[in-house]
Structure 1
Amino acid sequence: MAASVTVLWLVAAFLGGAFSLTCFHCTTNNGDNCNENEKPCLGPLDTCFTTLTEIHQDKQKVPTKQLVKLCREKKSCNQSYTMSFNSTKLYASTTCCETDKCKTIMPSIEDLKKEKDKENTLSCPYCIEFPSTKCNDKDTAKCYGKEDKCVSFTSKEATNTSKVSKWKGCATANLCSMSTVATLPLSHVTTTMFECNHAPSLLPGLLLPVAFGPAMLKLLL
């Protein structure tokens, strides 16, 4: 009986390995494509995932681009998201494929950049602190495009966990459900304490002078 169980376990293990998906695992820091370092996908990871990230900073003429390929869950496929940290803005898009060593279509972020140019009426607590896990919540970041969530997270470099940074700013809502797969503004980072909250509106503050003017005029007359 024990021998039969052992044989069945070995067959199951062999079949599990035989049918696992193999994807490329690579990163480029200039946004170029890559197809190397083949690895099998384990557990719930069931698709080959590609994320293109572009980071713009006001004082930087050329944006920073990063492309990442690895195994991820299919539920996060074909998503686009943005984040704003005042002078730092991030655009990202993902694509997927589901066959061994498949070459995913390169993600595009051009439409995101056009949409994100439009400032909306929301704002969020803002900070970028490095190295630190705490922030000064007195500053605010303006939100753009479809960003309607306030995001807060701590990041650690995968190769040096003592290098930590704290981020707070605006984000699109879908990023909140993608926090474990999102490519963030630092290379090779893991995120902890990822939180999302609804972004408060700037509109009441903007309308206050408009309402205050007629009221003062009535008093003077």
Structure 2
Amino acid sequence: MRTLSFILLLSLSLYKVDALRCYSCSSVTSNADCNQNIKQCLEPLDTCMTTEDIAGDKKIMVKQCASFATCQGAEDGAGLDPFGDGNVVTCCSTDLCNNVAVATAKPSSGATTIHIHTALLLLPIGVLSLLSKYYR
């Protein structure tokens, strides 16, 4: 039984776990140029992160290894303005999953922004109206 346990423990210690591999580049304007470099991610970096910064007709791409939390935070904070300027972030977690350029998301419409601002302006008026009825 001891021999079997030793063999099992030895085989588990020799089991090779392949780290995630991501395309990696910094401040590149073309996806083809960016996909020339492959990086093996080290712990705790478990996600391939692609960021595309857009300003008019200029696009800069960065691909790198990141932690899932870092990538999700960047993805949640990314966005484009009504003119299509800003940044887009994608996260993935399989080998070389960041091989394509970030799909450019549609900018948010100005109408949505106006509706939100109107609602925020009307909220205090509603609260004041309710309070004035309560204290009469």
TM-score by length of 1: 0.36
CA 1:116–1:92: 2 relative to 1, 3 Å: farther
- Measured in 2, the distance between the counterparts of 1:66 and 1:45 equals 22
Tell me the equivalent position of 2:57: 63
**8 Å contact kept, 2:23–2:99:** no
Greater strand percent: which structure?
Answer: 1
Aligned-residue CA RMSD in angstroms? 4.0
1:82 equivalent to 2:47? Answer: no
CA shift at 1:26, angstroms?
Answer: 0.6
**8 Å contact kept, 1:50–1:68:** yes
1:92 equivalent to 2:71? Answer: no
Q: Which runs of 5+ in 1 are unaligned?
A: 1-7, 56-61, 123-145, 149-200, 208-221
- Measured in 1, the distance between the counterparts of 2:31 and 2:109 equals 23
Code of the aligned partner of 2:94 = E
CA shift at 1:35, angstroms?
Answer: 0.9
Tell me the equivalent position of 2:21: 22
Larger Rg: 2
Tell me the equivalent position of 1:108: 103
Tell me the equivalent position of 2:134: none
**8 Å contact kept, 1:29–1:64:** no
- Measured in 2, the distance between the counterparts of 1:15 and 1:47 equals 22
**CA offsets per residue over residues 127-174 of structure 1, 9 Å max, x none?**
xxxxxxxxxxxxxxxxxxx9x9xxxxxxxxxxxxxxxxxxxxxxxxxx
- Measured in 1, the distance between the counterparts of 2:39 and 2:28 equals 20
CA shift at 1:104, angstroms?
Answer: 3.3
- Measured in 2, the distance between the counterparts of 1:83 and 1:103 equals 20
**8 Å contact kept, 2:46–2:93:** no
1:48 equivalent to 2:48? Answer: yes
Code of the aligned partner of 1:67 = M
Greater relative contact order (Cα < 8 A, sep 6+): 2
**8 Å contact kept, 1:21–1:40:** yes
TM-score by length of 2: 0.52
Greater helix percent: which structure?
Answer: 2
Tell me the equivalent position of 2:113: 120
- Measured in 1, the distance between the counterparts of 2:111 and 2:103 equals 19
Aligned residues: 105
Identity over aligned pairs, percent: 24
Secondary structure at the aligned position of 2:51 is classed as: strand
- Measured in 1, the distance between the counterparts of 2:59 and 2:113 equals 25
**8 Å contact kept, 1:95–1:106:** no
Tell me the equivalent position of 1:32: 31
